Amino acid sequence: MLLGVNIDHIAVLREARKINDPNPLDALGICKLANADQITIHLREDRRHIHDDDAKKIIENSNLPVNLECSINDEIIDIVCKLKPQRATLVPENRAEVTTEGGLDVKSNFEKIKKAIKKLHDNEIEVSLFIDPKKETIKLSSELKVEWIELHTGTFANIYAMLHGNLRNTHHSIKELELPRQDLKVMLKESKKQIKKASNKADQLNLKVAAGHGLNYQNVSLISSIKTISELNIGQSIIARSVYTGLYQAILDMKELIK
Ligand SMILES: CC(=O)[C@@H](O)[C@H](O)COP(=O)(O)O
Ligand SMILES: NCC(=O)COP(=O)(O)O
């Protein structure tokens, strides 16, 4: 199983102070030494963490392939075409969200996504679509002739955290998931089943399958055991753990769990 380490969250810490420390660029060598397979970053429209010059320096200096997540906004796609990462992952963006809340609405944005894919392919950038695990969206992704899809695992992760973690006892408890444990157990099983089904469908259609969002040291094995998923992109939990163990060890620990 390949691991893309999302280093945005280092920039989140830097932006909290509006200074130049910690610098996500410093993570590149450590990710490589710890056998990460890819660097993932997300150039958000509001530049709330990674900025354009971070993305430029990371792409210029990374020995590992860079997967640049971005919205389908024309201006952002033009920037990505100039930056030339190995892969661009198209994601939905909503300015008001705390983090990405779901997959791309491929059906409603079909023509706009098609145009973005053409521009990226013309610049020799592989394309991935960050989508919900739904059959119809997988089919549309295949029609768009992208190389990859990345299945959004955020819903699965939220259910897992409400069932097995202490999230419901904190001020970040997810109100709509404040349900009896038995219901959450059923929902978790269903969510994993949906991800597996979507991944198998995509594999049949010759799409390479990645997954990510909210994956952590507790929930990851349920997803990494799905045979047709070949890559996981993980950020928040790895950077959170690195506060205590260091980034090198945090990546090694994750690699060990998903091997
Ligand atoms: C699309 C995605 O899942 C990642 O970009 C992840 O969300 C990064 O965290 P932020 O939502 O804080 O950008
Ligand atoms: N595309 C998912 C990603 O890059 C990492 O998401 P998260 O682990 O930070 O939730």
State yes or no: pLDDT of 203 exceeds 90.
Answer: yes
Q: Evaluate whether 184 touches 159 at the Cβ level (below 8 Å).
A: yes
Helix (H, G, I), strand (E, B) or coil at 102: coil
Query: Closest ligand 1 atom to the C-alpha of 99?
Result: 11
The mean pLDDT of 94-117, rounded to a whole number, is: 90
Convert the pLDDT of each residue in 152-183 to its tens digit: 999 999 999 999 999 999 999 999 999 999 99
Q: Is the CB of 152 under 6 A from ligand 1?
A: no
Convert the pLDDT of each residue in 30-77 to its tens digit: 999 999 999 999 999 999 999 999 999 999 999 999 999 999 999 999
Q: Evaluate whether 89 touches 68 at the Cβ level (below 8 Å).
A: yes
The sign of the torsion formed by the CA atoms of 214, 218, 222, 226 equals: positive
Looking up tokens 């709509």, which residue turns up?
A: 176
State yes or no: pLDDT of 4 exceeds 90.
Answer: yes
Catalytic annotation present for 69? yes
Active site residue: 69, 93, 150, 231, which one?
69
* Of the options 3.20.20.70, 3.30.2350.10, 3.90.1150.10, 1.20.120.1200, the CATH number for the domain spanning 2-258: 3.20.20.70
In whole angstroms, give the CA distance from residue 165 to residue 112: 39
In the structure, what pLDDT confidence band is assigned to residue 235 with cuts at 50, 70 and 90?
very high
User: Exposed/middle/buried for 58, CB within 10 Å: 0-12, 13-18, 19+?
Assistant: buried
CA 59 to chain centre: 17
The mean pLDDT of 143-149, rounded to a whole number, is: 98
Residue 121 is given by DSSP the state H
Give residue 100's pLDDT: 82
**Which CA distances in Å does 198 have to 42, 126, 230?**
24, 21, 13
State yes or no: pLDDT of 95 exceeds 80.
Answer: no
Other Cβ atoms within 10 Å of 248 Cβ, number: 16
The mean pLDDT of 87-101, rounded to a whole number, is: 87
In whole angstroms, give the CA distance from residue 232 to residue 102: 16
In the structure, what pLDDT confidence band is assigned to residue 94 with cuts at 50, 70 and 90?
confident
Residue ranges for the known binding site are 6, 8-9, 17, 44, 49, 99, 214, 235-236
Active site residue: 93, 150, 213, 231, which one?
213
Q: Evaluate whether 104 touches 131 at the Cβ level (below 8 Å).
A: yes
> What is the distance in A from the centroid of ligand 1 to the CA of 233?
10
Catalytic annotation present for 42? yes
Query: Closest ligand 2 atom to the C-alpha of 9?
Result: 9
The mean pLDDT of 123-133, rounded to a whole number, is: 98
- The one-letter code for the residue type at 135 is K
